A = this chain, B = another copy of it.
Amino acid sequence: MNLPPLIQTFVLHFGEMGSRWGINRTVGQIYALLYLSREPLNAEDIVERLGVSRSNVSMGLKELQSWNLVRLQHKPGDRRDYFSTPDDIWQIVRTLVEERKKREIDPTLTLLREVLMQESTNSEERHAQVRMREMHDLFELLTDWYADMQHLETERLVQLLKLGTKVQKILDVKDRLFPTSGAKNRRSSGKDK
Residues of A within 8 A of B (CB): 4, 6-7, 9-10, 13, 17, 19-22, 35-38, 89-90, 93, 103-104, 107-108, 111-112, 114-115, 118, 120-122, 124-125, 127-129, 131-132, 134-135, 138, 141-142, 144-145, 148-149, 151-152, 155-156, 158-168, 170-171, 174, 182, 185-186, 189, 192
Contacts and interface: CB of A to CB of B under 8 A. Distances in A.
Contact of A111 (B9, B141, B149): B9
A4 B125 contact: yes
Nearest to A129: B6
Across the A-B interface, give the 4 residue pairs with the lowest CB-CB distance, nearest first: A148-B164, A36-B128, A20-B22, A38-B127
A17 B163 contact: no
Contact of A6 (B9, B35, B128, B156): B128
B158 A141 contact: yes
Copy count, this protein chain: 2
5 contacts: A4-B125, A17-B104, A38-B124, A149-B165, A155-B192
Contacts of A114: 9
A141 B158 CA distance: 8
Contact of A35 (B129, B131, B158, B165): B131
Contacts of A159: 171, 185-186, 189
Contacts of A93: 138
Given A10-B115, A89-B138, A120-B6, A20 B165 contact: no
